Homo-oligomer: A and B are copies of this chain.
Amino acid sequence: MVDHRPTMNDVARTAGVSLKTVSRVVNGETTVAPDLAARVHAAVESLDYRPHLGASMLRRNDRRTRTIGVLLDDVSHPFSAAVHRAVEDQARARGIHVLTGSLDHDPVRERALAAAFAERQTDGLILAPSGADLDPHTMPVVYVDRVPTGAPGDTVISTNISGAAGAVRHLIAHGHHRIGFLGGDRRLSTARERYTGYQRALGRRAGPAVHDLHDPTAACAAAVAMLRGPDAPTALFTTQSTVTIGAVRALRRLDRQHAVALAGFDDFPLADLLDPPVTVVAQDPSRIGETAALALFERIDGYAGEPREIRIPTTLIPRGSGEL
């Protein structure tokens, strides 16, 4: 009997074999006599022995922790949460575990968490880059949702330009000429790319634009101001779900929800139950997470090709608000 957490040594003593034999059995090596293996298994059982992954990885040749880090904007935001879940599912399929962190677009936190994960010897990192220049990373990294600045690497990201252009063309096809733009943080490549798509679809007829909106409240205020202004647009294009929801609230407040068309980038739960149901360009966060995880595992397994940029297609979902 031992009073501390049992070690391999305790198991060896109980089973009456050498430490190394226990190691062989625990690691599933087949070169152990059946009777010895049985005694080891019995001892493991009776002592409730659990291997110490940290100690094993310290000595092991491959030095893998079978743990990856996932750093996203905010694990409670639907988009990040869906990416997280998809990564987790792919990781589970390979017996890999996931350390998480929310960055809230803070480059300082990004650096601190990436460093902390490195000290924990994670095998790799999936990262939604904050927008500031990145330190070079000491482990394989795959970026999601945004193009990183200053540190090239595999990047998995939506077809922002064509998706945004498609939504705006959809509004144009329904007779709109003056289409207002409500966008997010221009320091991030997503907001910039979606604005490019908007401009590309409209050419020189691009309407009023407000940028750098972060939350529904600010977006609502901006939309109200735009709709009350001179040359008010007859349709709105929004670049992220928080802004879209703010625009929905603005249209309600002005009671113009059936008069002004709306198309938003990024789908959100219950968009189809609103009145009118909201037309969106849906991203595929699950596929983004899954693809990023698979790319990361390839890198961890030694793939050393050039950085890849993988674009995940978006889908226009006409629901009503964009067809007014």
Q: Is A85 an interface residue (CB 8 A)?
A: yes
Q: A57-B54, A138-B50, A269-B270 are in contact. Are A101 and B88 (CB under 8 A)?
A: yes
Q: Is A118 an interface residue (CB 8 A)?
A: yes
* Nearest-neighbor residue (CB-CB) of A84 within chain B: B75
Interface string of A248-290 (1 = CB under 8 A from B): 1100100000000000000011100111000000000000000
Set of chain B residues within 8 Å of A58, measured between Cβ atoms: 52, 54-55, 58
Q: Is A81 an interface residue (CB 8 A)?
A: yes
Interface string of A59-99 (1 = CB under 8 A from B): 00000010100000011111001101100100010000111
Set of chain B residues within 8 Å of A55, measured between Cβ atoms: 54, 58
Q: Is A121 an interface residue (CB 8 A)?
A: yes
CB distance from A104 to the nearest CB of B (A): 10
B76 x A84 contact (CB < 8 A): yes
CB distance from A291 to the nearest CB of B (A): 16
A50 x B252 contact (CB < 8 A): no
19 A/B residue pairs, CB under 8 Å, sorted by A: A50-B119, A53-B119, A53-B120, A55-B58, A58-B58, A75-B75, A78-B78, A78-B269, A84-B100, A88-B100, A97-B99, A97-B116, A97-B117, A98-B99, A99-B100, A245-B270, A252-B273, A268-B270, A270-B274
Set of chain B residues within 8 Å of A120, measured between Cβ atoms: 53-54, 67, 97
One complex includes copies of this chain to the number of 2
Set of chain B residues within 8 Å of A84, measured between Cβ atoms: 75-76, 100
A75 x B67 contact (CB < 8 A): no
Set of chain B residues within 8 Å of A101, measured between Cβ atoms: 88, 92, 97-98
Set of chain B residues within 8 Å of A119, measured between Cβ atoms: 50-53
Q: Is A115 an interface residue (CB 8 A)?
A: yes
Q: Is A196 an interface residue (CB 8 A)?
A: no
Q: Is A102 an interface residue (CB 8 A)?
A: yes
* Nearest-neighbor residue (CB-CB) of A116 within chain B: B97
Set of chain B residues within 8 Å of A77, measured between Cβ atoms: 81
* Nearest-neighbor residue (CB-CB) of A117 within chain B: B97
A121 x B273 contact (CB < 8 A): no
Interface string of A31-54 (1 = CB under 8 A from B): 000000000000000001011111
A100 x B102 contact (CB < 8 A): no
A54 x B270 contact (CB < 8 A): no
A53 x B102 contact (CB < 8 A): no
Which of B50, B57, B76 is in CB contact (< 8 Å) with A85? B76
CB distance from A273 to the nearest CB of B (A): 6
Which of B5, B88, B249, B269 is in CB contact (< 8 Å) with A75? B88
CB distance from A244 to the nearest CB of B (A): 11
